[in-house]
Amino acid sequence: MSERAEIKKVVYNEGGVQLKTSHDGLCAYVRFLENYPGNLDLRSFLMLLQQQSIRNGLLPDAIKKSLESKDRDTDILIARGTPPVHGINGSVKYTIPPDAIRAAPRLNPDGKVDMKELQVLHNFHTNDVLAELIPHTLGIAGKSVSGEPIEPQPGKPATLTVGKGTMVSPDRTKLVAANDGALVYHEGIICIYPVFTVKEDVDYSVGNLDFVGTIFVKGNVLSGFRVKAEGDISIDGLVEAAQIFAGNEIVIRGGVQGGGRAIIEAGGSIYANFINDAKLRAGEKIETRGSIMRCEVFAADEIVSPSKEGEIVGGKVIAGRKVQVQNLGTALGVTTFIEVGTDPSIVSRLETLQALLAEDQEAFKQIAQTVDKIRTLERRIGRLPSRNQREFEAALNNLNTLRANIELGQNEITRLEQQLEAMKESSVCVLGTVHPGVVIKIGKSTFKVAEAMQAVRFQLQDDRIRISAL
């Protein structure tokens, strides 16, 4: 019982009988005074309560006992109303609560802790839900002992605060990401940043990184760690025996000292100061200022290292269109394999498309025959039965779909064939010296360099590799 309910007011005081109610109207009491003659029966007492507007929440047993009791000058509870249920304040449910934004090693299913997986990044894509409003409630009205409603105190609604890279959903109930990025709490407000910056080395204090945006690393990426981004990756320092994967470009200003275990892949181009003992793959080009030594390198377009320090020594280097370098190989005759005019992925894609095109063309032929038969039937009988009409409409829809697929396939095949044709103009350009030990392959032709040459171009002509001066 509340403190306020203990405060009572007298609503009736006659014949040695007092009726009282609590100030909140939820309780009613009877008190028989010393001069009460004991002349009330149950019916009379209930009528008295009605007359005094005490009619809700009556306690029959308590009333009966009070009339039978010989106690005097004691308040006896005889009615109890229904208290209101006050509303609950609204709240915000966070997809990633603030206290979850901390670096913690991942626990693997085998029970071992992976200290390289610190889970420092929480990635979100555009329109992903960041937080959701839990609505406030209005509460439920109570009822006093007199039967009057007691209004509840309604809860207060919560609000969503919009930070950088966030927006409120159209129905105003959710906070969602306005762009791809990492979730950060800035002064308690959710923000989504499309760029994630590491101000030091990628090591055990940072862990592996996997981000939907762009990553900037101000230090080095140490051996054994992985950096992955759907956007660009920019590294100011060195890359050791690490793994670097980017959907777009990769820039490594300090160079790569891969120890034979570094793997670097980009959907776009890769730019590095130098690359030693690593595997690289680029969807566009690879460019270095210094050496490419003992590497396995593939670029769909070109590989260039034209500065005076630029050289390719050892390993295997493959480019779709061109390799241009200052010096190729060494005077020691280190085997260095260079290949241009090929892209296995284009050949594989072309073969797949040609097979799919043949299937679509055959299906188109079969369905076209079915359509012709139905049209012949229509001309003969005048009006198609509903079953044939449905079959006819389905066949026409399939024809239109196949026709569109065939056109798209033919266009893509033409584009790929043009790419392969352009590769026939591929070349290897050496601005300085090409040394013995270098093996050059263009298309299906191979040339082994037997003596040093300066400022030359290797290019395919009449299915043979020809050498010309630059």
Residue 19 counted as domain residue: yes
Domain assignment of residue 428, yes or no: no
318 domain residue, yes or no: no
The answer to whether residues 144 and 52 touch, using CB atoms and an 8 Å cutoff, is: no
In a domain, 22, yes or no: yes
Give the dihedral sign, CA 31/32/38/44.
negative
Q: What is the mean pLDDT of residues 368-392?
A: 80
pLDDT band at 285 (very low <50, low <70, confident <90, very high): very high
Same domain? 180 vs 95: yes
One domain, residues 199 and 189: no
pLDDT in tens, 5-40: 467 889 999 999 999 999 999 999 999 999 998 889
132 contacts 93 by C-beta, under 8 angstroms: yes
Question: Do 188 and 222 share a domain, yes or no?
Answer: no
**Among residues 43, 58, 80, which one ends one of the domains?**
80
pLDDT, tens digit, for every residue of 401-451? 999 999 999 999 998 888 777 666 789 999 999 999 999 999 889 999 999
Give yes or no: residues 160 and 211 share one domain.
no
Same domain assignment for residues 202 and 180: no
Structure confidence by residue, pLDDT tens digits, 133-169: 999 999 999 999 999 999 999 999 999 999 999 999 9
Gap between the Cα atoms of 268 and 274, Å rounded = 18
Residues 226 and 275 in one domain: yes
pLDDT digits (tens, 9 = 90+) for 57-102: 999 999 999 999 888 999 999 999 999 999 999 999 999 888 776 5
- Based on the domain organization, do 164 and 255 belong to the same domain? no
Does residue 267 share a domain with residue 214? yes
Same domain, 106 and 188: yes
pLDDT at 110: 59
Look at residue 85 and tell me if it is in a domain: no
Look at residue 112 and tell me whether its pLDDT is greater than 70: no
In a domain, 66, yes or no: yes
Domain match, 210 and 180 both = no
Nearest to 232, CA basis, from 245, 214, 219, 220: 214
Residue 230 is assigned to a structural domain of this protein: yes
pTM for the full model?
Answer: 0.65
Scanning the structure block, which residue is given the tokens 């034979």?
Answer: 260
How many separate domains does the chain show? 4
Residue 64 placed within a domain: yes
177 and 221 share a domain?
no
Q: Are residues 188 and 221 in the same domain?
A: no
Full residue range of the structural domain in which residue 233 is found = 194-284
Of 423, 439, 455, the residue at which a domain comes to its end is 423
Final residue before a domain boundary, out of 284, 302, 331: 284
